[in-house]
Structure 1
Amino acid sequence: MTVKVFLATATVALGLMAVPAFAEEAPAPAVTPANAAAPPSAADLLFEQPQMRNAAPGSTITYDYLRRSGIAKGPFGAPLQDTVTLKVEKPTVAEKGGAGTPSADARDIAVTMFSGLNRVPAGPFEDMTGNPIVSLFFENHLRALAKVLEANPRYLKLAIRRGLRERAAVTPVKVKVGDREVDGWQVVTRPFAGDPMTERMRGLDDLTYTVVTSPAVPGEIVSMEAASRSKDGGELLQEKLNYDPKAG
């Protein structure tokens, strides 16, 4: 299976004050522009590619996660820094009597999403060729966003889906991962810009989603980010996830 779970569908009732940013930022991979041929589509990069093909069975992929907000009264909750880990194994569909033979690119993936009281149920995923971290990040983000905006999550999901499919800029980049620099792609979209419900987005209509991918990284996802600032520069939301090359 590729990661198509998030690309599915769609109405909204959405109040907010901004205060300056706080909490220490998690380190992010350095990204610089690069030259390349015609870029692939964002949907292909994020939802169609067999991203797990370069993740060795028996390995663990770790992502550092940060969410913080400067909105008064903290509707997004206290700042959260945690990790998400993917334990990668060979697919066992055939051994369990499933139809057909699993793709050579497929993996079974056990997920530990956050720790302790922050733990979020996730997976396990069987016979996956796409990286489930893409859908997990967006779905977790949408739950919090819909709650803060008192919005229908399907409306928000459809807007982001359209943004990724129709309004995303994809550019080639050089990505610093650990002590090496690798080729990658950067996807950027602002799906709520010009939205008919802008006045009910409570200042979050400038939400910018940035995803960096590279086939040189296990699972191909280098980083994901959702960020929004008020007109005076206050941080309304900073939510990001970065691949940790040093974690096993």
Structure 2
Amino acid sequence: MIARWLGVRQGAGLLAGLALMASSAGLGGLAGLGGLAFSPPARAATAASKEPAKEPTQAPAKAGAEDFSPAERALFMQNHLGTLKPPLVLRYQFARRGSLAENFDDQLSLALTARADGRCCAAKGDFLSGKHKVATPEIEQAESNPALLFFLEREIAEMQRLTSGKANYFRKRIRMAVYQGAQISTLQVPWRGKTVAAQQIVIRPYHDDPLRARFEQLAGKQYSFVLSDAVPGGLYAIRSLVAAAPGAATPVLAEELWLDGATPTLGGADTRAAGASGTTGASGASGAAGAAAAAAARPTPATRTP
């Protein structure tokens, strides 16, 4: 799955990406999954040739594995799961708000088990439920957090559904924005009754899109990723936002995934967030939101209502 996000930008990056993805995504576990599996270079080039829009100017290529931006490394190449002790389940809350689509709340659980060599982790996701349920692949050798990619792949599917555009086009715009247009900052976020250091990565993949007029209502979409080494799985929250139209109080569309805690599945101490005993939210402080989950982490109004 990571291959879709690191694989095809430049020749050097592709070769380095293949080596990295084999360990971080468990490519063997993705074989035969079509929509989520890696596309070979020839196939990817064919798809790219059908893209209607001109891609952003790329930064000069560097040799081998150096051809990755700091944002790419943080999101897709960091070993987010390396310090975890499986088996355990990471739990995330999900919320969608906005005037464009149905509002709902749901969750993602990510079951992590030891790999054959005893290290963390093999991963199996259960993302949303009922009519919203998203099929996710089992990943045999996960290192970067699969929850991030599950969220992004669902986002792309939604963009395709709402605009009739091509998934590959939206994926490439996001990938290039991470590669060369990301804004990175540091901040403090609440976690289990204290504040911890975090990193925020913000991208606006359609801001300068020459074809944005074809989907203008969604062209202002912004993605915010909040990562922290101090939380289980390294991923604190992800948010996509299309801000409210002038004069409107409700955002056009806002979707958010935030960490609710981690629970061992066999023995050991319970490492759930403080909020797990009756409250939810990335802050472990109050279900109304993880609202505070960080005012600091969110440059725009919170998606969830009290």
Pairwise CA distance, 1:7: 3.4
- The residue type equivalent to 1:212 in the other structure is V
Deviations 1:106-156 (A, max 9, x none): 401121111234322112211111111111000001101111111011111
Which has the higher mean CA deviation after the structures are superposed, 2-11 or 138-147?
2-11
| Counterparts of 1:201 and 1:230, CA distance in 2 | 16
1:240 paired residue among 253, 256, 262: 256
1:44 paired residue among 73, 89, 99: 73
Pairwise CA distance, 1:68: 2.5
- The residue type equivalent to 1:190 in the other structure is R
Contact 1:8 1:158 survives alignment (8 Å):
no
Deviations 1:168-226 (A, max 9, x none): 01111111123121111000011111110121123211111000000111110000011
2:198 paired residue among 170, 184, 201: 184
- The residue type equivalent to 1:82 in the other structure is D
- The residue type equivalent to 1:6 in the other structure is W
| Partner residue in 2 for 1:215 | 229
Q: Does 1:171 align with 2:185?
A: yes
Contact 2:186 2:200 survives alignment (8 Å):
yes
Task: Return structure 1 stretches of 4+ with deviation > 3 angstroms.
Answer: 2-10
TM-score by length of 1: 0.76
User: Structure 2 vs 1, CA of residues 198 and 230 (structure 1 numbering), >3 Å: closer, same or farther?
Assistant: farther
SS of 1:126's equivalent in the other structure is coil
Higher relative contact order (CA 8 A, sep 6+): 1
| Counterparts of 2:104 and 2:7, CA distance in 1 | 28
SS of 1:134's equivalent in the other structure is helix
- The residue type equivalent to 1:206 in the other structure is G
Determine what percentage of the aligned residue pairs are the same residue.
23
- The residue type equivalent to 2:87 in the other structure is G
| Partner residue in 2 for 1:89 | 113
| Partner residue in 2 for 1:79 | 103
Deviations 1:28-47 (A, max 9, x none): xxxxxxxxxxxx81111100
* More strand, by proportion: 1
Contact 2:95 2:257 survives alignment (8 Å):
yes
Q: Where do 5+ consecutive residues of structure 2 fail to align?
A: 9-47, 54-68, 262-272, 278-306
Q: Does 1:204 align with 2:218?
A: yes
2:97 paired residue among 68, 87, 99: 68
SS of 2:99's equivalent in the other structure is coil
Residue correspondences, number: 206
SS of 2:5's equivalent in the other structure is coil
* More helix, by proportion: 2
Q: Where do 5+ consecutive residues of structure 1 fail to align?
A: 14-39, 93-100
RMSD across aligned positions (CA): 2.2
SS of 2:82's equivalent in the other structure is helix
- The residue type equivalent to 2:141 in the other structure is D
| Counterparts of 2:247 and 2:170, CA distance in 1 | 24
